[in-house]
Amino acid sequence: MIEQVGKAAYNLGFTPGLNPAQWAALRYFDEATTERRTVTGFAQFQGTTKGTASQTVAALVRKGYLRRVGDKQDRRVHRLVLTDESQALLRGDPLQKLGQALESLTQEERWALAVSMEKVLRQLIHI
């Protein structure tokens, strides 16, 4: 069941012009603090290499969804900022369907699901 929910949620990320990794990046840069809006911050959050994160970011910059802005304190650092186009895109984020499905659960069901998923995750990563 977890695999099917995961696949269904993942498939929501395949929309014209964006793949799931690019959607994840847009969501990250939408919610990250200013200091964490870097390729390195995104790579750490995703648990991936800086090179992989850099490719995703470069594609979003080329498509006009992210813009690089130099840091005023450290000229080596570039912050990534959402463009108006990406903000409009995020308003129609396909993952909202998953949120709506979860909202159909009662508060008690959501709590039980959250507790259960945390237990599964802890077992998988041996916390």
Helices (H) and strands (E) in the chain, counts: 7, 2
Whether residue 24 lies inside any domain: the answer is: yes
Whether residue 115 lies inside any domain: the answer is: no
Give how far the C-alpha of residue 50 lies from the chain's centroid of Cα atoms, to the nearest Å: 15
Whether residue 60 lies inside any domain: the answer is: yes
Range of the domain at 42: 15-92
User: Which percentage of the chain shows pLDDT scores above 90?
Assistant: 56
- What's 35's domain CATH number? 1.10.10.10
Residue type, 82: L
Structure confidence at residue 127 (pLDDT):
61
pTM for this model (two decimals)? 0.74
Count of the separate structural domains present in the chain: 1
Beta strands in 11-63 (DSSP E): none
Compute the distance between CA of residue 102 and CA of residue 95 in angstroms, rounded to an integer. 11
